[in-house]
Structure 1
Amino acid sequence: MKHTFINDKTFNGINYTLEALPKGEYDNCTFINCDFSESYLSTITFIECEFIDCNLSMVKTKSTTLKDVVFNNCKLVGVPFHDCNVFLFSVSFNDCNLNLSSFFNLKLKSTLFKSCKLEQTDFTDADLTASKFIECNLYQTIFDNTTLENVDFKTSYNISINPNSNQIKNAHFSKDNALGLLKMYHINID
């Protein structure tokens, strides 16, 4: 099968649940209002691409390459990002729903999560050094053996992080959300 190379193209309003996105490499492409839900994106390469108002819930990502990819106002529920190609993995998220997704064991240094829902999202064994969680809902987000050094949590909420099982040196919290570091002790603070 021939490998497809697509450069500088905009894809608008396409339903990829009916016909799959052709396998290949997409460079500097924009996907607007496209539905990829439960689609196979395995082995597809996206470089410097942007997804706007797209539904990528439950997509299959085995060996998918995401390099400098931006997601804006996208639904990404249950996405196994941990299955992606880890080489050059680089993403950012603005106003996205990432509930139930997994970033298990990924290097996510300096990653931006802005105004995102991350309920029950799994960051176990991930390296989030110097990442920013700006105005994010972190309800029941899983941080276990996660590197959170220099991470900015100041404006996020519903935080629950066990400082004994994560590296949190120089992480930034507001006074209000810092209470989430004490949840494991089951104490009442009035």
Structure 2
Amino acid sequence: MDNVLKTEYYDDDIDYQHPLASESYWESLRFEQCRFEKLDMSEGKWRFCIFDECEFIDCDLSLLILNNSQFHSAIFIRCKLLGVDWTQADWTTHLGKPPKFKDCILNSGSFFGLALGAIQLLNCKVHDVDFTESSLVKARFIGSELNQSRFYNTTLTSADFTQAQGYQIDVRQNRVDKARFSHIEALGLLGALGIELVD
């Protein structure tokens, strides 16, 4: 049985050699401006943890359970985040900026119903991810692959899909006013309208 870690505070860098790296269950831990690097926390559980202005670099956080944990201005770079249900985290306290993901893999995850505003998913693989009923005003999906991801009743006002690929967004069932799309990929938006393009 894993040791349950009680309320503790950290402000140092944490890598695979840190004592916490061997614990799969973190509870009531607070991290401020910490850099997490090359951690394998796949199938772990974070319960009531707080991450203030933290960076995660080259970490495997697949299938991680985020039981009421909070992320304030978190940045994820080159991380594996397969199957993460982001709705399990506590987003009611909005301190700092929405999360930023760069060169990450977020396949098979869920952001269902979350209001994450200007979340950034840059050059990421975002396959089979649920954005249903999410509010993503000014979100940035630049350069990301969005194959089979679901947008329904999603607010994408002023979102940026420049150089994003593979998305299927029904403009009748989502708010896309002032959103930006690359010319070629934007043709896919017409598919839901039953419009056929010919040369």
TM tier relative to shorter chain: over 0.9
Question: Does residue 157 of the first structure (1) align with residue 160 of the second (2)?
Answer: no
CA distance in 2, matches of 1:148, 1:156: 14
Q: Which consecutive residues of structure 2, in runs of 5 or more, have no partner in the other structure?
A: none
Asked if the contact 2:55–2:74 (Cα under 8 Å) also holds between the matched residues in 1, the reply is yes
- 1:19 offset after TM fit, Å? 2.1
Partner of 2:24: 20
Asked if the contact 2:26–2:47 (Cα under 8 Å) also holds between the matched residues in 1, the reply is no
CA distance in 2, matches of 1:139, 1:74: 19
Q: Which consecutive residues of structure 1, in runs of 5 or more, have no partner in the other structure?
A: none
Q: How does 1:116-155 map to 2 (within 5 A)?
A: 116-155=124-163
TM-score using structure 1 length: 0.93
Letter in 2 for 1:13: Y
- 1:42 offset after TM fit, Å? 2.1
The alignment covers a number of residue pairs equal to 189
TM-score using structure 2 length: 0.89
Asked if the contact 1:60–1:80 (Cα under 8 Å) also holds between the matched residues in 2, the reply is yes
Letter in 2 for 1:140: Q
Deviation by residue 1:93-145 (Cα, 9 ceiling, x = unmatched): 00000001111111121111110000011111111101111100010111111
CA distance in 1, matches of 2:55, 2:128: 25
Identity rate, percent:
32
Asked if the contact 1:17–1:38 (Cα under 8 Å) also holds between the matched residues in 2, the reply is no
CA RMSD of aligned residues (A): 1.8
Partner of 2:44: 39
The more displaced of 146-155 and 13-22 is 13-22
Partner of 2:72: 67
- 1:21 offset after TM fit, Å? 5.2
Partner of 2:183: 175
> Which of 94, 104, 111 does residue 88 from structure 1 map onto?
94
Question: Does residue 98 of the first structure (1) align with residue 106 of the second (2)?
Answer: yes
